[in-house]
Amino acid sequence: MVTKKVVMDKTHFLIVRDVDYAFSDGKQILSHVTFSLPQGAFVALVGQSGVGKSTLLRIVSGLLRPFRGEVLLNGRSPHEADPSIGLVFQHDNLLPWRTAYGNVRLPLELRGENGLQAHERVQAMLKLVGLEGYADSYPAQLSGGMAQRVALARALVHQPSLLLLDEPFGALDALTRERMGRELLRIWQAHPVTVLMVTHSITEAVLLADEVLVMNGRPATITHRIPVPLTRPREENVEQTAVFQECVTAVRSAIQIS
Ligand SMILES: Nc1ncnc2c1ncn2[C@@H]1O[C@H](COP(=O)(O)OP(=O)(O)OP(=O)(O)O)[C@@H](O)[C@H]1O
Ligand SMILES: [Mg+2]
């Protein structure tokens, strides 16, 4: 039997190489998209509405196949890497007939994991996102922020090595959104996972990420990679610092508004 040798490369944990994508109507959305992420990084992806951010995230997740080019996660295609990818979308997509516990448990059930270990993992995830007291609540009984935390717990329960977030806090009010951002940082620090997060908020991108990728063009590509040289953990008043403001300005001017 021939076994494929997987090369562990921590500095190029996720590789997106020369990816092109067109929908079936023939309109090309992505052209020569190339970037890589080191293991454990928290990277934000920004760009104007309709540029192709969600399309790129779906390609990275393996939900869409690139027309050309390749995606490698730890040396394997996203399909082979599955289920080590967790996904959270703008709307929580929770099953309304399942409790918070039942929703978080679903990915484990789908993989046939039903024992005590699975139960303990679900409990641990609910605790991690601060919802241990809400295991029996249904999505309709939760606030928007709480529902997104359940979605986050569900995405993390099978211990993914890559977490893809597409505007996870887009539907939340400004205050909840800010609190969720800090929650996400806490969870990321407690949980060894590489994060690629699409956001419309430049300040959120700079506050959370090690690096901000900027997409531009039609078809789109990554035109800028802006490092965020802020220390971790991010301090309470980091938004008032000159470095933070410089990063925000750099990201804003990199996004070409057409
Ligand atoms: N199923 C589809 N068929 C054809 N075109 C599509 C399809 N889905 C998206 N598009 C087009 O692809 C482009 C990129 O869409 P995408 O959803 O990736 O943008 P986005 O950057 O995520 O935008 P937003 O910030 O508004 O979420 C848009 O022009 C959109 O109209
Ligand atoms: Mg989108």
Most ligand 1 atoms within 8 A of CB, residue of 19, 24, 27 to mutate: 27
Cα atoms in the 13 Å half-sphere on the side-chain side of 257: 3
- Tell me, using a 6 A CB cutoff, whether residue 54 lines ligand 1: yes
Predicted pLDDT at 94: 95
Which of 139, 141, 185, 179 is CA-nearest to residue 165? 185
Q: Which helix (H) or strand (E) holds 156?
A: helix 144-156
Ligand nearest to the CA of 258: 1
Ligand 1 pocket residue status of 55, Cβ below 6 Å: yes
User: What's the angle, vertex CA 217, arms to CA 211 and CA 220, rounded to 5?
Assistant: 70
Q: Which ligand is nearest to the CA of 89?
A: 2
Q: Is the CB of 161 under 6 A from ligand 1?
A: no
Residue 111, both tokens: 């993989």
Distance between Cα 198 and ligand 2 center (Å): 8
Task: Say what the pLDDT of residue 252 is.
Answer: 97
Q: Which residue has the tokens 């928007």?
A: 144
3-state secondary structure of 154: helix
Nearest to 16 by CA among 72, 94, 56: 72
Closest ligand to C-alpha of residue 60 is 1
Element (H, E) at 17: strand 14-22
For residue 3, the model assigns a pLDDT of 39
C-alpha to C-alpha distances, 255 to 46, 168, 221, 224, nearest whole angstrom:
8, 21, 12, 9
Q: Which domains does the chain have, with CATH numbers?
A: 1-84+160-258 (3.40.50.300), 96-159 (no CATH)
180 lines ligand 1 (CB under 6 A): no
pLDDT along the chain (258 residues), means of 10: 47 94 94 96 96 96 93 88 81 92 95 93 92 96 93 92 93 86 89 92 96 97 97 91 97 86
Residue 25 CB less than 6 A away from ligand 1: yes
Task: Give kind and range of the element (H or E) at residue 251.
Answer: helix 242-254
Per-residue pLDDT at 118: 95
